[in-house]
C-alpha cells in the first residue's frame, strides 16, 4: 500500500510517520508539506508542495490511501495574512475538499481526515458525553472549528457520492505530547490562567501517539465515518495545572477574553480570540465507537499526556 500524508511537518506527523512505516503492507509513504519534516526512512520520500497545488491532487490519485493532516490551525503561522479570514478558509476548506475530490474521483480506497473535537463546540446544553451523531456546532467566530465543520460537511457529501472511497474522520480532543502545539503547552504553564465558572468545565486530551495509533487502525480496518478520540477521565484545566505544579494567577474569564482580544489586535503572535471562547463549558467525548470498531484504547490518561507535553 502506498500512502500519501499531507502536513508531513505537522505536529502529529512526527509520531505518525514511524508508526505508519512500521505497519505491515506499507510499501511507501510520501509526505508533502511546505516545510521540511526532518524525518527520514528508506521507504519515505518528501515533496515540498502546497495543498492548493494541482500537483498535490495528481499525487493523491497515485496512492492507495490519503492521510490528511495539513490544516491552518494557528493563524499566526500565516504571517502577514493572519487576519485574512478568507485566505485561511480557502486553504483549509477549498484545499482539503479539492484534494478529497481528486482522491474520490480516482477511487483511492481510503481517505483519513484529521478533524477535531472542536466541531462540537463547548455549549452549556451539551449532554455529559457526546457521541459522533451529535450535531456539529462550532463556537461562533472560532475560525479553526468553522473550517473543520465545513470540511466535514463536504466529506459527508463526497462519501455519499463516492462509495468506492472509504472516508474516515477522526475527531481527537486536545492533542498533547512531546510535539504538541506550543500554544497548548503555554495554556498549561502560563503564569496566568482563567478562573472558570463553577462547577469548573471538564475537558479531555489525548496523547499524540494514541492518535497516531488510531490513524493506523483506521487505515487497516474496514471502517468509515467519524470517530471520537479522547482519554479518560475528564479533568478540569485547574486539575491539570495543579498536577503539573503550576498554579499561577487565575483571572476571571471575561477579563482574560478582553486581554486576549487586545493582544490579538496588537501583535501577530497571539492566536484568534475564538480559542478562549470554548473554555467556559465542558466538552467530553463518548469514545465507544472507536473502542468497538477500531479496537482503539488510549494508553495515556490526561495527566500523563500533560506531563509528556512538558517534556517535549
Decide: residue 54, CB within 10 A, 0-12 exposed, 13-18 middle, 19+ buried.
exposed
Which residues fall within 8 angstroms of residue 254, CB to CB, at 6 or more apart?
A: none
> CB of residue 146 vs other proteins: minimum separation in angstroms?
10
Which of 128, 249, 266, 311 is in the footprint of other proteins by CB under 8 A?
A: 128
Does position 34 bind other proteins by CB under 8 A?
A: no
Query: Minimum CB separation from other proteins for residue 108, in Å?
Result: 19
Q: Is 286 in the site for other proteins (CB under 8 A)?
A: no
DSSP label at 18?
H
Q: How far is the CB of 21 from other proteins (least distance, A)?
A: 30
42 binds other proteins (CB under 8 A): no
Q: Does 178 bind other proteins (CB under 8 A)?
A: no
Question: Per the omega criterion (within 30 degrees of 0), is the bond before 233 cis?
Answer: yes
Q: Least distance to other proteins from the beta carbon of 136, Å?
A: 4
Counting contacts by CB under 8 A, is residue 140 touching other proteins?
Answer: yes
Shortest Å distance, C-beta 3 to other proteins: 23
DSSP bridge pairs for 48: 33
The torsion angle over the Cα atoms of residues 185, 216, 304 and 122, rounded to 10 degrees, is: 60
Cis peptide before 33 (omega within 30 of 0): no
Q: Which residue has the cell 495539513?
A: 70
Closer residue to other proteins (CB): 76 or 134: 134
Judged by CB under 8 A, how many residues of this single chain contact other proteins?
22
List 200, 225, 268, 312, residue binding other proteins (CB under 8 A): 225
The yes or no reply on residue 226 touching other proteins (CB under 8 A) is: yes
Q: How many CB atoms lie within 10 A of CB 304?
A: 17
Contact between 175 and 214 under an 8 Å Cβ cutoff? The reply is: no
The rounded distance, in Å, linking the Cα atoms of 20 and 165 is: 20
Closer CB to other proteins, residue 85 or residue 129?
A: 129
Among residues 50, 64, 132, 239, which is the contact residue for other proteins, using CB under 8 A?
132
Q: Kindly tell me which of 153 and 185 has the beta carbon lying closer to other proteins.
A: 153
Cα angle 71, 72, 76 (rounded to 5 degrees) comes to 160
> Residue 152's Cα: distance from chain center in Å?
13
Query: Under the criterion CB under 8 A, does residue 145 sit at the interface with other proteins?
Result: no
Q: By CB under 8 A, is residue 163 in contact with other proteins?
A: no
C-alpha grid cell for residue 256? Answer: 482574560
Q: In whole angstroms, how close is the CB of 137 to other proteins at the nearest point?
A: 4
Cell output for 135: 450535531
Q: Which residues bind other proteins (CB under 8 A)?
A: 121, 123-125, 127-128, 132-133, 135-137, 140, 149, 152-153, 156-157, 159, 169, 225-226, 289
Amino acid at each position: 500500500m502506498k500512502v500519501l500524508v499531507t502536513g508531513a511537518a505537522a505536529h502529529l506527523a512526527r509520531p505518525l510517520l514511524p508508526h505508519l512505516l512500521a505497519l505491515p503492507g506499507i510499501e511507501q509513504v510520501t509526505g508533502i508539506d511546505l516545510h521540511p519534516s526532518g524525518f527520514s526512512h528508506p521507504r519515505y520520500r518528501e515533496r515540498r508542495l502546497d495543498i492548493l497545488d494541482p500537483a498535490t491532487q495528481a499525487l493523491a490519485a497515485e496512492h492507495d490511501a490519503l492521510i490528511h493532516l495539513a490544516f491552518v490551525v494557528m493563524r499566526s503561522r500565516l504571517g502577514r495574512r493572519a487576519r485574512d479570514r478568507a485566505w485561511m478558509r480557502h486553504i483549509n476548506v477549498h484545499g482539503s475538499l479539492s484534494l478529497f475530490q481528486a482522491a474520490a474521483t480516482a477511487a483511492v480506497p481510503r481517505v483519513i481526515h484529521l478533524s477535531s473535537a472542536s466541531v462540537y463546540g463547548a455549549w452549556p446544553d451539551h449532554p455529559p458525553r457526546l457521541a459522533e451523531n451529535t450535531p456539529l456546532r462550532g463556537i461562533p467566530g472560532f475560525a479553526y472549528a468553522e473550517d473543520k465543520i465545513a470540511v466535514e460537511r463536504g466529506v459527508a457529501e463526497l462519501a455519499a457520492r463516492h462509495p468506492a472511497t472509504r472516508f474516515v474522520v477522526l475527531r481527537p480532543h486536545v492533542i498533547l505530547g512531546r510535539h504538541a502545539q506550543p500554544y497548548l503547552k503555554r495554556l498549561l504553564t502560563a503564569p496566568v490562567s482563567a478562573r472558570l465558572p463553577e462547577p469548573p468545565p471538564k475537558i479531555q486530551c489525548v496523547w499524540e501517539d494514541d492518535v497516531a495509533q488510531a490513524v493506523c487502525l483506521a487505515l487497516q480496518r474496514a471502517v468509515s465515518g467519524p470517530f471520537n478520540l479522547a482519554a479518560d477521565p475528564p479533568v478540569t484545566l485547574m486539575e491539570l495545572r495543579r498536577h503539573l505544579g503550576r498554579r499561577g494567577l487565575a483571572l476571571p474569564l471575561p477579563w482574560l477574553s478582553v486581554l486576549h482580544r487586545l493582544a490579538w489586535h496588537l501583535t501577530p503572535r497571539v492566536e484568534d480570540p475564538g480559542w478562549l471562547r470554548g473554555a467556559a463549558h465542558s466538552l467530553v467525548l463518548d469514545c465507544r465507537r472507536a473502542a468497538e470498531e477500531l479496537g482503539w484504547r488510549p494508553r495515556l490518561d490526561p495527566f500523563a499526556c500533560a506531563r509528556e507535553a512538558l517534556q517535549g
